[in-house]
């Protein structure tokens, strides 16, 4: 097990290097804005452009730039300094990570709390009205764009601009350094709508996924065995059926969380939550390569890490899995 984890971690490092390289190359090869000219103002002298280019280190050949970047990253865990405001990218990411984490983890809890019971009920009441309503609703939520859902929820339920101003709306997430983890009671209310919006489509996907899984599992031989033992149906469904049906949920949860921890761009944008996703968008708009790199690498890191965690967790969930 330990050697497996070590091996996986080494893979992770390699993958991250590849990703940083790809990001770097895409930034260089595709026609994005020239960061130096962008920062030189309206009618810059060639000298000024040159100065800024040197300042940003863009005058060196790409491989030198990349090597320097990698060197800093690997040996000092330094993502460099933002082109935009001379703030260290690492500090910006760390500053924003709690907001994204609070959004993603809270959202995940919400969608699990909604999606799992609905999935179970749908499977148990298969074909009945409850099932049809739930699955129809799920389809609507899956197809609804998060962006649209966010706006609708704001116009309906947020204080200030909503028809029924019950929840905190956009821009209420505090910027004073408090986050869900150090002051849950002040921050949670501001995240309530974002959680619902973020969770909506996931809850729908999980409900459908779980329903399908559970139905499949309930036709397994070991379910027949459980019934043949004379176990109460509740025990059959929950202890035997759900236990198997829910295990794959861990996998997709890990992947989804991994992706979201790298920034829930749309939700963050609609609700103005200062998370990594918005940092990424801002940095793209400003051709701020170090910040783009930093957010991409952090995003990739979370995806790979959560994937590893899922694999490790699987060994505990499914006794057949061994590394």
Partner 1 sequence: MKRSLRWAVMLGALIALVVGLTACGGSSSNSSSTNGSKAGEPTKVDLSAGKKGGKITFLAAADIDYADPGQTYYTFGFMVQQAINRPLYSFKPDDTTTPVPDLAAGPPEISADNKTITVKIRQGVKYAPPVNREVTTADVKYAFERSFSKNVPSGYAGTYFSSIEGTPAKPNTGDIKPISGITTPDKYTIVFKLKAPQAPLVSQALVMPITVPVPEEYAKPFDAKLPSTYDQYVAQTGPYMIQNDSKGKLVGRKPGKQITMVRNPNWDGKATGDYRPAYLDGVTIEEGNDQLEVASRRTLSGNGLMCCDAGSPPAQVLKSALTSNKDQIAFVPSGGTRYIALNTKVKPFDNLNVRKAVVAGFDKNALRQTRGGKLLGDIATGWLPPGIPGFEEAGGLTQGKQYDFDTKPTGDLALAKQYFAKAKAEGVPIGSNGLYNGPDKLLTIATNADPGKKTAEVAQNQFTKLGFKLQFRIVPQDTLYTKFCGVPSQKVAICPNVGWFKDFTDPQSMLDATFNGNNILQQGNVNWPQLDVPAINDAMKAAATTPVGTERNKAWAKINDMIIGQAPAIPWIWDKTALIASKDVKQVPNGYTTVQDLSFSSLK
Partner 2 sequence: MPMLEVKDLRVHFHTDDGIVKAVDGVSYSLDRGRALGIVGESGSGKSVSSLTVMGLTRFSKTVEISGEILLDGKDLLKASDEEMRRLRGNEISMIFQDPLSSLHPFYKVGDQLVEAVRAHRDVSKAQARDRAIEMLGLVGIPEPRKRVDAYPHEFSGGMRQRAMVAMALSNDPKLLIADEPTTALDVTVQAQILDLLRRLQTELDTAIVMITHDLGVVAEVSDDIAVMYAGRIVERADKETIFAAPEHPYTWGLLKSIPRLDGPRDEELVPIPGRPPSLITPPSGCAFHPRCPYARETHKTIEPVLEPVAGRPDHQVACLLPSDVRRRLWAALKAGEKPAEAVAAVGIPGLPAEGTPATEELQP
Q: How far is the CB of 220 from partner 2 (least distance, A)?
A: 7
Task: Identify the bridge partners of residue 158 per DSSP, sorted by sequence position.
Answer: 167
Among candidate residues 76, 77, 56, the one with its CA nearest the CA of residue 65: 56
Please give the Cα distance from 304 to 21 (Å, whole number).
16
Binding mask 52-81 for partner 1 (x = CB under 8 A): x-xx--------------------------
Q: How far is the CB of 129 from partner 2 (least distance, A)?
A: 15
- CA distances 249 to 201, 208, 245, 295, Å, are 15, 11, 8, 27
In this chain, which of 227, 281, 305, 314 binds partner 2, going by CB under 8 A? 227
Tokens representing 207 are 């409900």
Q: How far is the CB of 265 from partner 1 (least distance, A)?
A: 9
Q: Does 17 bind partner 1 (CB under 8 A)?
A: no
Please give the Cα distance from 287 to 36 (Å, whole number).
10
Question: Which pairs from 178-181 meet CB under 8 Å and 24+ separation?
Answer: 179/98, 179/99, 179/101, 179/102, 180/98, 180/101, 180/102, 180/105, 180/106, 181/98, 181/101, 181/102
* Nearer Cβ to partner 1 (84/244): 84
Q: Does 222 bind partner 2 (CB under 8 A)?
A: yes
Among candidate residues 99, 82, 97, the one with its CA nearest the CA of residue 272: 99
* Nearer Cβ to partner 1 (10/133): 10
Q: How far is the CB of 168 from partner 2 (least distance, A)?
A: 42
Site for partner 2 in 126-145 (CB under 8 A): 126-127
Q: Does 228 bind partner 2 (CB under 8 A)?
A: yes
In this chain, which of 60, 225, 285, 323 binds partner 2, going by CB under 8 A? 225
Q: Does 131 bind partner 1 (CB under 8 A)?
A: no
* Nearer Cβ to partner 2 (177/230): 230
Please give the Cα distance from 294 to 89 (Å, whole number).
7
Site for partner 1 in 293-322 (CB under 8 A): 295-296, 299-300, 303-304, 307, 310-311
| Total residues interacting with partner 2, rule: CB under 8 A | 23
Stretch that binds partner 2, among 88-96, 168-176, 238-246, 291-299 (CB under 8 A): 238-246
Task: Count the helix, strand and coil residues of the chain and give each as a percent rounded to the nearest 5.
Answer: 75, 0, 25
Q: Does 175 bind partner 1 (CB under 8 A)?
A: yes
Q: Does 182 bind partner 1 (CB under 8 A)?
A: no
User: Of these partners, partner 2, partner 1, none, which one is at the site of residue 229 (CB under 5 to 8 Å by kind)?
Assistant: partner 2
Count of Cβ atoms closer than 10 Å to residue 233 Cβ: 11
Residue partners of 190: CB distance under 8 A and separation at least 6 = 168, 172, 173, 174
User: What would you measure as the largest C-alpha separation in the chain, in angstroms?
Assistant: 86
Binding mask 78-97 for partner 1 (x = CB under 8 A): ----x-xxxx----x--x--
CA atoms within 13 A on the CB side of 169: 16
In this chain, which of 10, 166, 318, 323 binds partner 2, going by CB under 8 A? 318
Which spans of this chain sit near partner 2 (rule: CB under 8 A)?
126-127, 220-222, 224-233, 240, 243-244, 247, 317-320
């Amino acid at each position: 097990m330990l050697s497996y984890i070590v091996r996986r971690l080494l893979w992770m490092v390699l993958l991250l290097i590849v990703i940083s390289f790809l990001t770097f190359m895409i930034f260089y090869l595709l026609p994005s804005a020239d960061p130096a000219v962008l920062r030189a103002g309206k009618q810059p002298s060639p000298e000024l452009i040159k100065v800024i280019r040197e300042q940003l280190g863009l005058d060196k050949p790409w491989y030198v730039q990349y090597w320097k970047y990698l060197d800093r990253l690997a040996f000092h865990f330094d993502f460099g300094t933002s082109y935009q405001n001379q703030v260290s990218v690492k500090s910006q990411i760390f500053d924003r990570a709690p907001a994204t984490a609070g959004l993603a983890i809270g959202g995940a809890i919400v969608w699990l709390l909604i999606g799992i019971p609905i999935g179970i009920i749908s499977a148990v009441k298969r074909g009945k009205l409850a099932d049809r309503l739930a699955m129809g609703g799920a389809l609507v939520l899956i197809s609804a764009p998060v962006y649209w859902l966010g706006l609708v929820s704001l116009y309906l339920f947020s204080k200030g601009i909503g028809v029924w101003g019950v929840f905190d709306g956009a821009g209420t997430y505090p910027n004073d350094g408090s986050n869900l983890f150090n002051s849950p009671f002040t921050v949670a209310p501001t995240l309530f709508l974002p959680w619902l919006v973020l969770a909506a489509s996931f809850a729908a996907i999980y409900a459908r996924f779980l329903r399908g899984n559970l139905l499949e599992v309930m036709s397994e031989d070991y379910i027949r065995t459980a019934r043949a033992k004379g176990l109460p149906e509740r025990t059959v469904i929950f202890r035997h059926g759900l236990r198997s049906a829910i295990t794959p949920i861990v996998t997709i949860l890990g992947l989804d969380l991994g992706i979201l921890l790298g920034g829930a761009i749309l939700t963050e944008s609609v609700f103005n939550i200062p998370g990594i996703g918005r940092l990424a968008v801002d940095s793209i708009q400003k051709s701020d390569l170090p910040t783009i790199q930093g957010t991409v690498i952090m995003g990739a890191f979370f995806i790979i890490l959560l994937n590893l965690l899922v694999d490790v967790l699987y060994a505990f969930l499914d006794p057949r899995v061994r590394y």
